[in-house]
Amino acid sequence: MTIPLIQRAKNNETQIAIVSREGTFTYGDLLHSSAQIAAQLLHSTATLQEQRVAFLIPSGFEYVAVQWGIWRSGGIAVPLSVGYPRPELEYVIADSGASIIIAHPDFEAVLRPIAQERQLRFILTSDPLPEATELLPEIDITSRALILYTSGTTGKPKGVVTTHQNIQAQVTSLISAWEWTAADKILHVLPLHHIHGIINVLTCALWAGAQCHMLPKFDAQTVWQRLADGDLTLFMAVPTIYVKLIAAWEAANQAEQQKMTAGCGQIRLMVSGSAALPVQVLEKWQTISGHLLLERYGMTEIGMALSNPLHGERLAGYVGQPLPDVTVRLVDESGNLVEPGTPGEIQVKGPGVFLEYWQKPEATTKAFRDGWFCTGDVAVVENDSYRILGRQSVDIIKTGGYKVSALEIEEVLRNHRDIQDCAVVGVADAEWGSLVCAALVLQPGVNLSLEALRSWAKEQLAPYKVPKRILAVTELPRNAMGKVTKPAVAALFQDA
């Protein structure tokens, strides 16, 4: 069986698929290059049989060709983040049990030593590719396709496994709800180790036969130049990006502002997600662009579950109703359905829900109740629309569109020679959603500056996990059981 995404591309071979700094590429180019990469991976074997292939490639055509090549060879794609320091790259490679690493030459220096130490096969995107590609395996759509790492309350990120069938369900639900067509052109500015960038933008565009214009990284001036060109139809981003675009618009002169606003007028849909969108940001963006941003709700384990309507009233601060083929319910702590107006945990069922946490059967079992995935997020239904209230656990911080584990960051910070103990919390912030903040109990007679801590932490943690504020305390607030009380820690930062 051919993966449906690949089969659809064969119907659009002459159409433009990807526009990136490498050039302009058709669906035919993507099919040819991904077939070559698949043949290179197979290395005369019949199929990879769900071997994990970790890859680190900047956003662009090569990224997509490698992702498709992994899928066409029967492998499981494990995308790595361009922002990860070596310890986080090593963790994902080790936890996923990757047997092959593919790297852009920019990342050879960090990844080749890891491959050598672990005796893994190492491929550079600059390596010559085989010409013969006709003997690619048939792929069962129920086979595993993708492992994305997401932070959980247990500290270290868990690998979320989705099948080709799960991905197809996630994508077709959004294609239907947001009326994607082959005439669409979307600007891609999001990270490509995260479901928002991989599924909602890239894979939806390629499923629809549309054009995906990919930037290597987000830059407010570059994004505004592309928006002002007036040839795009879709744009999706996280609230932090909209905050930065607003600041860039406000810094522009009147003539530039008029051109920026006019360009937005050509776009049919603008979406915000991955973190709560502050109402003042939504209102300011509407003033600038003429667009009331469409907010939606989803997570790595389920794809997208809720969305404001493409047509019809969108409510500020709400994430709409269930998407096509997704069933959602709210339950209390006993698992009983709650009435409208009463908060409850969001539980989700549908063909887009993930298969398992990679090699964590107990965590997988714990995540489901009677076939429903328990999100750990609390919401309330008002005006027939869902409003997200936050996490059941205070140990998950949503910052700049990412979910990070406070427990994981604490474990790293405790390795600093000047830190006796610490507690990490999220503190509400208009730009980032939440700021990662750390209360520190320092060694006697020691002073530690924020700059010094951040410099050290950037060698251990992804940039978005590094604390943006610190506070030295003599002791951490604890309950009678000796457990740190996170709300009291957060209050210390609010008071400061």
pLDDT in tens, 166-177: 999 999 999 999
Neighbours of 449 (CB within 10 A): 9
Give the burial string for 142-177 (b: 16+ CB within 10 Å, else e): ebbbbbbbbbbeeeebbbbbbbbbbbbbbbbbbbeb
Asked whether residue 470 is domain-assigned, the answer is yes
Assess contact for 271 and 141: CB atoms under 8 A.
no
Among 61, 67, 106, 116, which residue's Cα sits nearest to residue 83?
106
Residues 6+ apart with CB under 8 A from 214: 18, 19, 20, 59, 60, 61, 63, 188, 202
| C-alpha span between 496 and 492 (Å, rounded) | 6
Q: Give the position of tokens 């609010």.
A: 494
More confidently predicted of 113 and 394: 113
The kind and range of the H/E element at 198 are none
- Is 467 inside a domain boundary? yes
Predicted model pTM: 0.86
Helix (H/G/I), strand (E/B), else coil: 245:
helix
Do the Cβ atoms of 97 and 52 come closer than 8 Å? yes
Number of Cβ atoms within 10 Å of the Cβ of 51: 18
Is the residue at 48 inside a domain?
no
Q: Sorting pLDDT into bands at 50, 70 and 90, what band is 494?
A: confident
In a domain, 373, yes or no: no
Residue 369 lies in a domain: no
Query: Distance between CA atoms of 26 and 17, rounded to whole angstroms?
Result: 5
Q: What is the 3-state secondary structure (H, E, C) of 2-35?
A: CCHHHHHHHCCCCCEEEEECCEEEEHHHHHHHHH
Whose CA is closest to 369, among 396, 322, 333?
A: 333
Mean pLDDT of the chain: 94
* Res. 395: pLDDT tops 80: no
30 inside domain:
no
User: pLDDT of 262-306, one tens digit each?
Assistant: 999 999 999 999 877 878 889 999 999 999 999 999 999 999 999
pLDDT above 80 (res 472): yes
pLDDT at 279: 83
Task: Specify the residue for token string 């060694």.
Answer: 443
CATH number, domain with residue 436: 3.30.300.30
Give the number of other CB atoms < 10 A from CB of residue 308.
24
Binned at pLDDT 50, 70 and 90, residue 482 comes out as low
pLDDT over 70, % of the chain: 98
**Please, which residues have CB within 8 angstroms of residue 280's CB and are 6 or more apart in sequence?**
430
Q: Does 153 score more than 60 pLDDT?
A: no
| pLDDT at site 155 | 66
Distance of CA 16 to the CA centre of its chain: 25
| Total of domains in the chain | 1
Q: How confident is the model at residue 133 (pLDDT cuts 50, 70, 90)?
A: confident
Selection from 401, 9, 461, 22 nearest residue 189 by Cα:
401
**Residues with Cβ < 8 Å from 495, sequence gap 6 or more?**
none
Q: Is residue 160 within 8 Å of residue 354, measured between CB atoms? A: yes
Cα end-to-end distance, the chain, whole Å:
60
pLDDT at 154 over 60: no
Write the pLDDT tens digit of every residue in 348-380.
999 999 999 999 999 999 999 999 999 998 899
Average pLDDT over residues 465-487: 84
For position 481, what pLDDT does the model report?
44
Please give the average per-residue pLDDT across 442-457, as a whole number: 95
Nearest CA-CA partner of 40 in 111, 121, 156: 121
User: Residue 56: which pLDDT band, with cuts at 50, 70 and 90?
Assistant: very high
For residue 151, pLDDT beyond 70: no
Which of 35-39, 174-178, 201-205, 387-391 shows the lowest mean pLDDT across its residues?
387-391
Distances 431 to 295, 305, 382, 428, 467 between C-alpha atoms, Å: 16, 24, 26, 9, 15
In this prediction, residues 382-402 reach a mean pLDDT of 85
417 belongs to a structural domain: yes
10 Å Cβ neighbour count for 342?
11
Place of tokens 């003539």: 255
> Is it the case that residue 403 has pLDDT exceeding 90?
no
Q: Is the dihedral of CA 318, 320, 321, 322 positive or negative?
A: negative
DSSP 422-472: EEEEEEEETTTEEEEEEEEEEPTT----HHHHHHHHTTTS-GGGS-SEEEE
Q: Is the pLDDT of residue 152 over 60?
A: no
Q: Which secondary structure element, helix H or strand E, spans residue 172, and what is its range? A: helix 164-178
Task: Supply the range of the domain harboring residue 452.
Answer: 396-495
Q: What are 330's strand-pairing partners?
A: 346
User: Would 446 be classed as within a structural domain?
Assistant: yes
Burial class (CB in 10 A: 0-12, 13-18, 19+), 489: buried
